[in-house]
């Protein structure tokens, strides 16, 4: 039965399968796995008897932390888990090369094939590939065992689980790759083996270089031809370069092709994310023996201190959000449909740029950003703390990130670290080494490091191309309004520095609502009103948009996410700074604030619909409208006294007097022959007093 299943898989792959790549066969390897959570008393690789007992049948993606890391602070399993799969490999694979490519295993992995160690990997967010052909028994069943361990280690970043949880398991897809003896390399940091660079990009021309790494696993030089071709999005050939040579069996070989595109169709972000296609074919005896296809978005990124971000020579608005990958009830074991859902929300709110924090995320996600036109920031999980033992691993993870993601036109910057401080001297040196590595691997993209303090002369700063700062005015420090003097002082003192506001915002527990709001909230208390989050974003975006010195801003966060070491705001293991709840079911008021300000889609929205049990008879009504001045009716009577708020989509009615009992508010805008309405219900049953603890934190501190 297993033989038949394998033959069916091969047939599907060759005929109309998962990824039809000519001689290279790429097949999903995600079913038929069994899982057993450790720890074991002895090493299960050495003690066969340990494999007896109950195993759970699972499908990849899988994590063992889907619930425990999300529901109870500090109480989750971190340690070893084991995956087992038996697979029949036919004699047809004689003379072929066989690889397993893991897109993500949390966090350290060991791969065994028939008891032989085939590969190891340290880092929960980057892909890795193992060549397993020499360990296989052809014409027989083979046992594959993967040990995954998500226990925090001082030599593997992140070195703790304080800012987010590292979910254990094989939580991204696994692929079986079969090639001929000569191939476009599979094991160059699990990259495509193809690297596309572009120079002197303009509307008139662009210089494109395609670098391909080739590998000969034989004992003799092989006569091959490498053909690199660029196609338009519509499938028309733009140019091709062919070269024949003898491929050495000693070491990986690198070959370059250069192209000059005339009048290129530029990749223009969300407006026009046009993609060419680069096809690299390796041929022998007139037949294609390997093929890799990569995207090419022809674009030029430029950052000018004090002026902003430029795409293809034109100013480009960087409306930014951040995204953690985990979902309620799923952890990080996501399918493409979950990534698509998140991207749809990000597109809907009107964002133009995304910071994927604080680690490398799915390659599928990056590919979708290429096609959607989102400009993205990719980073490694060097966060929160250093130990002195992580330098080698941080460099390794950065190298993997860059090589695996090199060809995504949507990526403009490599993130080196987030809020890493003492010891300052070590951290500064580590950042410089990461910057140097990034520039060696990819001279054409920017680098960024992020500080949670607000002053430019912090001792770990200015070791990357861009200085990011996370600022939570009104939440962790000072008052909401202090964002303005902060940025104005930086503009005055450091006009030549490239600065980004890389996190800002406030938590919002939808169960917490109040009309009583100050200018700062004591985040140490368990009361996190949604209305305070809304107030924070309303004011702070109004300052950000008027200060081009802030080259890009990234609100924290698009979605609520798990923080397994914390209990805050009355909910364990939860960061609630998202614009959308952890279960992706509810969009908070702040979501519509940004959609009204950023999106071209029509927005008419009455705020505080969840703050329905009103505390004051005389109150204010706020409306977001990007389609014109709204009319608002209270219990059928039109309100007067409308005024503009912080931006031109912000409308406020002050001193609105509620009736006893139920009150119906209705907003109406008529534009272009269409009427838009929004309606909410409030209830008033008498005055209610609420004391909100607020304070000004003198110690500048940024959280997660």
260: how many CB neighbours lie within 10 A of its CB?
11
Confidence of residue 51 (pLDDT cuts 50, 70, 90): low
Structure tokens at 462: 């200015």
- Report the pLDDT value the prediction gives residue 45, as an integer from 0 to 100: 57
Beta bridge partners of 121: 109
What is the pTM assigned to this prediction?
Answer: 0.94
CATH of domain 194-296: 2.60.40.10
Task: Beginning with the edge strand found earlier in the chain, give each strand of the sheet holding 108-113 in spatial order.
Answer: 56-58, 33-37, 80-89, 140-149, 108-113, 116-122
How far apart are alpha carbons 656 and 639 in whole angstroms?
Answer: 8
Is the pLDDT score of 695 beyond 90?
no
525 in Cβ contact with 693 (< 8 Å)? yes
pLDDT of residue 523: 72
Q: Give yes or no for a contact between 360 and 125, defined as CB atoms under 8 angstroms apart.
A: yes
Say what the pLDDT of residue 52 is: 66
User: What percentage of the chain reaches a pLDDT higher than 90?
Assistant: 90
In the predicted model, is pLDDT for residue 16 greater than 80?
no
Burial of 276 (0-12, 13-18, 19+ CB in 10 A): buried
Is the confidence at residue 638, as pLDDT, over 60? yes
What's the pLDDT score for residue 616? 97
Q: What is the mean pLDDT of the chain?
A: 93
**Element (DSSP H or E) covering residue 445:** none
For the chain, which residues make up each domain, given as ranges? Answer: 24-179, 194-296, 316-599
Helices (H) then strands (E): counts for the chain: 9, 43
What does the buried/exposed string (b/e) look like for 126-149 if buried means 16 or more CB atoms within 10 Å of the residue's CB?
bbbbbbbbebbeeeeebebbbbbb
CB atoms near residue 181 (< 10 Å): 18
Question: pLDDT, tens digit, for every residue of 406-460?
Answer: 999 999 999 999 999 999 999 999 999 999 999 999 999 999 999 999 999 999 9
Q: Which of 408, 460, 455 is nearest to 434 (CA)?
A: 460
Residue 526 confidence (pLDDT)? 87
Instruction: Mark out the alpha helices in 550-689 (DSSP H runs).
Output: 589-598
pLDDT in tens, 508-532: 999 999 999 999 987 777 899 999 9
pLDDT of residue 20: 40
Give the angle 129-135-136 at the CA atoms, nearest 5°.
Answer: 100
Whole-number Cα distances in Å, 153 to 73, 159, 168, 679: 20, 5, 14, 52
At residue 692 the predicted structure's pLDDT band, cuts being 50, 70 and 90, is low
Q: What is the pLDDT of residues 537-566, one digit of tens each?
A: 999 999 999 999 999 999 999 999 999 999
Q: Which residues are catalytic?
A: 419
Contacts of 242 (CB under 8 A, 6+ apart): 225, 226, 227, 228
How sure is the predictor about 270, in pLDDT bands with cuts at 50, 70 and 90? very high
pLDDT confidence of residue 3: 45
Query: What's the rounded mean pLDDT across residues 313-330?
Result: 98
Query: Any idea which of 35-39, 499-503, 537-541, 588-592 has the lowest mean pLDDT?
Result: 35-39
Sole residue written with tokens 């081009």:
548
**How many CB atoms lie under 10 A from the CB of residue 272?**
10
pLDDT exceeds 80 at position 4: no
Q: Is 484's pLDDT higher than 90?
A: yes
Using DSSP, state whether 335 is helix, strand or coil: coil
Q: Which of 50-54, 76-80, 685-689 has the lowest mean pLDDT?
A: 50-54
Binned at pLDDT 50, 70 and 90, residue 568 comes out as confident
Three-class secondary structure of residue 118 per DSSP: strand
pLDDT of residue 551: 98
Q: How far is CA 218 from CA 137, 180, 248, 381, in A?
A: 20, 10, 9, 38
Q: What is the third-level CATH fold of 316-599? A: TIM Barrel (3.20.20)
Say if residue 699's pLDDT is above 70.
no
CA distance 393 to 95: 35
Q: Assess contact for 136 and 113: CB atoms under 8 A.
A: yes
Fold of 24-179: Jelly Rolls (2.60.120)
Burial class of residue 232 (count of CB atoms within 10 Å of its CB; 0-12, 13-18, 19+): middle
Structure tokens at 52: 């007896």
């Amino acid at each position: 039965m297993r033989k038949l299943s394998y033959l069916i898989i091969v047939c599907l792959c060759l005929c109309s399968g998962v990824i039809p790549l000519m001689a290279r066969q790429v097949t999903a390897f995600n079913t038929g796995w069994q899982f057993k959570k450790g720890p074991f008393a002895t090493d299960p690789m050495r003690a066969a008897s340990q494999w007896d007992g109950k195993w759970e049948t699972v499908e990849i993606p899988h994590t063992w932390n889907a619930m425990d890391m999300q529901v109870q602070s500090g109480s989750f399993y971190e340690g070893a888990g084991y995956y087992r799969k038996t697979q029949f490999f036919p004699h047809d694979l004689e003379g072929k090369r066989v690889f397993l490519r893991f897109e993500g295993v949390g966090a350290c992995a060991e791969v065994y094939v028939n008891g032989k160690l085939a590969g190891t990997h340290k880092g929960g967010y980057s892909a890795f590939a193992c060549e397993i052909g020499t360990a296989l028994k052809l014409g027989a069943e083979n046992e594959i065992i993967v040990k995954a361990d998500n226990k925090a280690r001082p030599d593997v970043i992140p070195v703790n689980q304080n800012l987010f949880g590292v979910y254990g398991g094989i939580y991204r897809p696994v692929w079986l790759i079969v090639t001929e003896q000569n191939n476009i390399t599979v094991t160059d940091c699990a990259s495509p083996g193809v690297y596309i660079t572009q120079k002197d990009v303009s509307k008139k021309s662009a210089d494109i270089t395609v670098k391909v790494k080739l590998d000969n696993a034989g004992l003799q030089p092989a006569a091959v031809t490498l053909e690199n071709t660029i196609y338009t999005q519509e499938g028309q050939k733009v140019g091709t370069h062919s070269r024949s040579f003898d491929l050495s069996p000693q070491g990986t070989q690198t070959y370059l092709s250069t192209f000059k595109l005339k009048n290129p169709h530029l990749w223009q972000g969300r407006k026009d994310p046009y993609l060419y296609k680069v096809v690299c074919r390796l041929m022998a005896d007139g037949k294609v023996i390997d093929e890799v296809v990569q995207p090419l978005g022809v674009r030029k990124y430029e950052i000018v201190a004090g002026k902003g971000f430029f795409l293809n020579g034109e100013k480009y608005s960087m409306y930014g959000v951040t995204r953690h990958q985990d979902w309620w009830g799923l952890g990080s074991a996501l399918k493409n449909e979950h990534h698509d859902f998140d991207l749809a929300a990000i597109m809907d709110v009107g964002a133009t740029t995304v910071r994927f924090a604080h680690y490398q995320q799915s390659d599928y996600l990056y590919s979708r950003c290429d096609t959607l036109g989102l400009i993205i920031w990719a980073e490694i999980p060097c966060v929160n703390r250093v130990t002195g033992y992580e330098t080698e691993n941080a460099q390794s993870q950065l190298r993997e990130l860059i090589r695996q993601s090199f060809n995504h036109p949507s990526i403009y910057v490599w993130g080196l670290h987030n809020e890493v401080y003492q010891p300052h001297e070590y951290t500064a040196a580590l950042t410089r080494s990461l910057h140097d590595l990034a520039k060696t691997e990819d001279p054409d993209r920017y680098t960024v490091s992020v500080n949670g303090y607000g002053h430019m002369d912090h001792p770990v700063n200015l070791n990357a191309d861009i200085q990011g700062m996370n600022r939570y005015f009104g939440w962790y420090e000072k008052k909401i309004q202090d964002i303005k003097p902060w940025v104005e002082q930086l503009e005055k003192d450091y006009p030549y520095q490239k600065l980004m506001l890389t996190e800002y915002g406030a938590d919002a527990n939808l169960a917490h609502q109040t009309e009583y709001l100050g200018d700062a909230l004591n985040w140490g208390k368990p009361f996190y009103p949604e209305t305070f989050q809304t107030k924070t974003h309303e004011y702070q975006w109004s300052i950000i948009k008027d200060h081009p010195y802030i080259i890009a801003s990234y609100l924290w966060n698009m979605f609520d996410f798990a923080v397994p070491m914390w209990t805050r705001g009355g909910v364990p293991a939860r960061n609630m700074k998202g614009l959308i709840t952890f279960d992706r079911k509810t969009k908070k008021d702040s979501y519509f604030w940004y959609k009204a300000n950023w999106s071209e889609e029509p927005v008419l929205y009455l705020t505080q619909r969840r703050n329905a049990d009103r505390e004051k008879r005389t109150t204010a009504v706020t409306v977001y409208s990007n389609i014109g001045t709204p009319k608002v009716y209270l219990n059928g009577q039109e309100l007067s006294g409308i005024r503009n708020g912080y931006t031109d989509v912000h409308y406020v009615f002050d001193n609105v007097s509620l009736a006893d009992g139920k009150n119906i508010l209705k907003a109406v805008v008529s534009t272009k022959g269409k009427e838009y309405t929004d309606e909410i219900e409030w209830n008033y049953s008498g005055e209610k007093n609420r004391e909100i603890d607020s304070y000004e934190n003198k110690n500048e501190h940024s959280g997660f």
